[in-house]
Amino acid sequence: MRVLIVEDDEALAEQMRQSLVDTGYSVDHAADGEDGHFLGDTEPYDAVILDLGLPVMDGASILKRWRSDGKEMPVLILTARDGWTDKVEGLDAGADDYLTKPFVMEELLARLRALIRRSVGQSSPQFSCGPVLLDTRNGRVSVDGRAIKLTAQEFKLLSYLMHHEGKVVSRTELTEHIYDQDFDRDSNTIEVFVNRIRKKLDVPIIATVRGLGYRLEWQEGQK
């Protein structure tokens, strides 16, 4: 999953970025409203953390422009203001949730997980496909209760497929959502990761759709 942080407080932005990376996200950061708007307008994100009080362009204005342009990614707004009018302004601009600074990082992570899973129609923090279970709260994967150890990139790829079960996902889409902007992206490595995941899970839940990509699915009776 790929997240954009738009925050001008460098120390806070780095703290959030590190926490998200440690939890298994790919993260981009913009320090002002203009750069933040551009990234959100041109790159595919699974969620955005957006500060309201930004230089150049404020968060509410960015969000209104994204929504008017048809951008539907979940947005969690941050505000140092505790007045209800600021929260209402952010929500009316198109935000999905908000946090008031200062906040506890664990709460931000929990709210972000909730936004992402709700955006794909999932209510539980645990995703399952046949005997495979992925828990977004602790980054654990298991097959029939047996823990499976995945690398960070393997987990990101499997998590994205689990969030989009039944949908054909292209290599390009996977590349865009498991790597951050500065990473040297190579869609050819996606096949390598998929093969590794298949071997580790040892259950046929990742189908190759020739010429299109991959689809996560489980049919009763499969072994």
Q: What is the pLDDT of residues 77-91, one digit of tens each?
A: 998 866 678 788 888
115 phi/psi in degrees, rounded to 5: -60, -45
The Cα 19–Cα 78 span in angstroms is: 16
- pLDDT at position 41, please? 96
Q: What is the dotted CATH code of the domain comprising 126-216? A: 1.10.10.10
Structure confidence by residue, pLDDT tens digits, 50-61: 999 899 999 999
Token pair for 65: 């422009």
CATH of 2-119 given 3.40.50.2300, 3.40.309.10, 3.40.50.740, 3.40.50.720: 3.40.50.2300
Among 171, 172, 163, smallest CA distance to 214 is for 171
Model-level pTM? Answer: 0.88
DSSP at 101: S
> Per residue in 59-71, pLDDT tens?
999 999 999 999 9
126-216: same fold as 2-119? no
The full set of domain ranges for the chain reads 2-119, 126-216
- What does the pLDDT look like over 117-146, one tens digit per residue? 999 988 899 999 999 999 999 999 999 999
